Amino acid sequence: MDGADTLMATKALDDTLVTVDKVTRRFRISLWRRLMTVMAWIFVVSSFVFLAAMFLSIVGDVLVHAWPALNLKLLTDITNGIGGGLKNAIEGSIIMSLGALLLAAPIGISAGIYLSEHGQGGAGKILRFLSDVLVGVPSIVLGYVGYITMVIYLGWQFSVAAGVITLTVMLLPYIARSTELALGNIPLAVREAGYGLGAGEGRVALQILLPGAAPAIMTGLFYAVALSMGETAPLLYTAGWSNYMWTGHLTKEPIGYLTYVIWTFINEPFAESHMLAFAAAFLITAGVLILILLGRWFLVRGQRRTGAYQS
Amino acid sequence: MVESTNACGIIAMKIPAFRVALIATASFLPLSLLLLIVFLVLYSWPAIQFNQFDFLWTNDWNLGNLYGNPVSVHGQQIMPGARYGIWFLVVGTIVSSVLAMLIAMPIAIGSAYFLSEGVRKSWAGPLSLFVDLLAAVPSVVYGLWGYALLVPLFGQTIFPFMVKTFSFVPFLNGSAGSGYGLLTAAFVLAVMIIPLISATLREAIQMTEPALKEAGLSLGLNRLEVFWHITLPKLKTVLIGVGILALGRALGETMAVLMVSGNALNYLPNNIYAPISTMAAFIASQLDSALQDPTNMAVEALSEIALVLLLITIVVNITARLMLWMERIR
């Protein structure tokens, strides 16, 4: 009896289940929604493909045009009016980037320490805000101010010093902010441990925090050098241009740099000048990209070797 | 005992010294911003007095007769016939930047979504390198690329095709031009600012609470719909802020625009293929000829352009940073 009842009950249940299944239709996504999703996917993928294509097209275009001009003459000869090598320009680019780094790194890093360690109050907030605004100042404006102050008013003429100081002002906010971010990732406990051992403020900052954040700060510096190497606008009216090697005068002697070659020589009507412009573009692009990649590699390696602070 | 007091003494002396040194170096940053404005105002003061307010909305940049004798107008020495009006630069700068923004925004949003949620994490790292490296390419190389590849391509193929296809749309029809012009400049600017927008947006997408996304998913939305209906509206302020920030970058861009814009003088574009010039590019290209002016008024007028450009970008940047700060994005 019981068994038959259960069987019947099960059967009835099955029937209802089946009928329920028949009555409710499966939830279907409307054709419109599916179509929109597919379209959106196509758009998302193609927008990335577009960016990758732009990058490859820039690098490829520069490489293809520069390829015939890449030879040792670039490194051993100086430029003349329309052709020659790039020795003076390469030297000038390196000198000015390193000079700007030497000036900007100490100031920028200590500004970064201040922002990170004492920047919670009103003064720090204003400073942080203004340095963000300084990042947005167009580089040509920096160059023009460098021109009217150093080149004309101080009478330095087109010179290494004017170019380097202009680049320094441009790099300062970048270095300050990257240092601040790097130090901000170090947990408070590390500082407390330092103070607990009796270290002073300076010792904690210089001997505990800076080494801990060194890989990230170095990455910031690599970015800064890459940035200064690729700049043209601030140097046009501060560093000028010279076909000759730098003789070591800080003022009253113009200096050559690679980015100037790109934008001037491409406007010459000669094929040789164009090739030189592309060769300069290749050198500067390769230099910048290698610096960026090196900076990233340095960060990863440094964190792997010394261990990163988990924030 | 003596030693420890000595040490304490040194530390007590050191703390203010260290902090004062930090404050002194840190104050370089606001100081340099302030000095930029002060120097520009001081140097362009004669030009500001001569030009009054007409400077911004008259369309007449003319150095005058450089071989004549200087005449005195409004108490300033200028060359006869010299007039300085930069309306064409104001229009060129703003229109090219806004156009660049319009091109850049959708692509930046699309690529930010693709890299943050569209592909698996292990692929996103290497693939995002494309976008990050694109941001690092120097602007003069962008200019060279535009000059050597885009200008011939656009001028000979794409612009004539667009003119034919969109012959009924205002500003898209008319003369296709030579390839140097507004749309080419805007395109190059767009490619330059997309990585900037995309990187910040990617960071912001990763910072949105997962609970929100999960709520959307549990309602039956797919990932793209969650992004469109939930994440993106949440990031509205960030989106506007980073957009304005990129606009500031585009407004001040010099070399790339200089090499592809066609460097128009006293000319207002009548369609999007027409040559233009921007303030930044004009400053870079005109100093040599301005130096021919013996009264120096032309150089001072250029410095007034630099001042206007600086003030515009400062206002734009302050707006953008305030919006981003509200959303706690760097």
Query: Tens digit of pLDDT per residue, chain B (330 long)?
Result: 334 444 444 554 545 788 888 888 888 888 999 999 999 999 998 888 888 777 888 888 888 777 878 888 777 777 887 888 889 999 999 999 999 999 999 999 999 999 998 888 888 888 988 888 998 999 999 999 999 999 999 999 999 898 888 888 888 877 888 889 899 999 999 999 999 999 999 989 988 888 998 999 999 888 899 999 999 998 988 899 999 999 999 999 999 999 998 888 888 888 888 999 999 999 998 888 888 888 888 888 899 999 999 999 999 999 988 888 887 665
Q: Which residue of A has its CA nearest to B32?
A: A169
Show residues of chain B in contact with A200, CB under 8 Å: 11, 14-15, 18
Task: For residue B194, tell me if it sits in a domain.
Answer: yes
A263, A274, A284, A288, best to mutate vs chain B, most B CBs in 10 Å: A263
Q: Which of B130, B287, B330 sits opposite A55 (nearest CB)?
A: B130
How far does the CA of residue A292 sit from the closest CA of chain B (Å)?
8
Q: In chain A, positions 260-289, which contact chain B (CB-CB < 8 Å)?
A: 262-263, 266, 277-278, 281, 284-285, 288-289
**pLDDT reported for residue B6:** 46
What's this model's pTM, rounded to 2 decimal places? 0.88
Q: Which of B39, B252, B321 sits opposite A145 (nearest CB)?
A: B39
**pLDDT reported for residue B4:** 42
Task: For residue B91, tell me if it sits in a domain.
Answer: yes
Is residue A160 within 8 A of residue A95, CB to CB? The reply is: yes
The 10s digit of each residue's pLDDT in A140-155 is: 999 999 999 999 899 8
Is residue B252 within 8 A of residue A257, CB to CB? The reply is: no
**pLDDT reported for residue B48:** 86
**Residue B208 dihedral angles phi and psi, to the nearest 5°:** -65, 145
SS (H, E, C) chain B: CHHHHHHHHHHHHHHHHHHHHHHHHHCHHHHHHHHHHHHHHHHHHHHHHHHCCHHHHCCCEECCCCCCCCEEECCEEECCCCEECCHHHHHHHHHHHHHHHHHHHHHHHHHHHHHHHHCCHHHHHHHHHHHHHHHHCCHHHHHHHHHHHHHHHHHHHHHHHHHHHCCCCCCCCCCCCCCCCHHHHHHHHHHHHHHHHHHHHHHHHHHCCHHHHHHHHHCCCCHHHHHHHHHHHHCHHHHHHHHHHHHHHHHHCCHHHHHHCCCCCCCCCCCCCCCCCCHHHHHHHHHHHHCCCCCCHHHHHHHHHHHHHHHHHHHHHHHHHHHHHHCCCC
Range name among A168-172, A235-239, B170-174 with the lowest pLDDT average: B170-174
Task: For residue B300, tell me if it sits in a domain.
Answer: yes
Q: Does the CB of B29 have a partner CB in chain A at under 8 Å?
A: yes
So what's the architecture of A72-306 in CATH? Orthogonal Bundle (1.10)
CB contact under 8 A, B133 and A55: yes
How far does the CA of residue B90 sit from the closest CA of chain A (Å)?
15
Task: For residue B269, tell me if it sits in a domain.
Answer: yes
CB contact under 8 A, A138 and B30: no
The 10s digit of each residue's pLDDT in A47-98 is: 999 999 999 999 999 999 999 888 888 888 888 877 788 888 999 999 999 9
Range of B96's domain?
Answer: 84-326
CB pairs under 8 A between A and B: 258
Show residues of chain B in contact with A236, CB under 8 Å: 284, 287
SS (H, E, C) A126-160: HHHHHHHHHHCCCHHHHHHHHHHHHHHHCCCCCCH
Q: Does the CB of B198 have a partner CB in chain A at under 8 Å?
A: yes
Task: For residue B39, tell me if it sits in a domain.
Answer: no
A141, A147, A210, best to mutate vs chain B, most B CBs in 10 Å: A141
Where in chain A are the domains? 2-65, 72-306
Domain count, chain B: 1
Q: Which residue of B has its CA nearest to A165?
A: B32
Assign A25 a pLDDT band (cuts: 50, 70, 90): low
Show residues of chain A in contact with B145, CB under 8 Å: 57-58, 61-62
Report the candidate in B143, B124, B142 with the shortest Cα–Cα distance to residue B199. Answer: B124
Mean pLDDT (chain A, rounded): 86
CB contact under 8 A, B114 and A47: yes
Report the candidate in A246, A218, A298 with the shortest Cα–Cα distance to residue A93. Answer: A246
Show residues of chain A in contact with B46, CB under 8 Å: none
Task: For residue B65, tell me if it sits in a domain.
Answer: no
The 10s digit of each residue's pLDDT in A125-139 is: 888 888 888 988 999
Task: For residue B238, tell me if it sits in a domain.
Answer: yes
How far does the CA of residue A57 sit from the closest CA of chain B (Å)?
8
Q: Does the CB of A297 have a partner CB in chain B at under 8 Å?
A: no
CB contact under 8 A, A232 and B19: no
Most confident of A183-187, A206-210, B104-108: B104-108
CATH number, position B262: 1.10.3720.10
Residue A2 confidence (pLDDT) above 90: no
Q: Does the CB of B221 have a partner CB in chain A at under 8 Å?
A: no
Q: Does the CB of B163 have a partner CB in chain A at under 8 Å?
A: no
In chain A, % of residues over pLDDT 90:
43
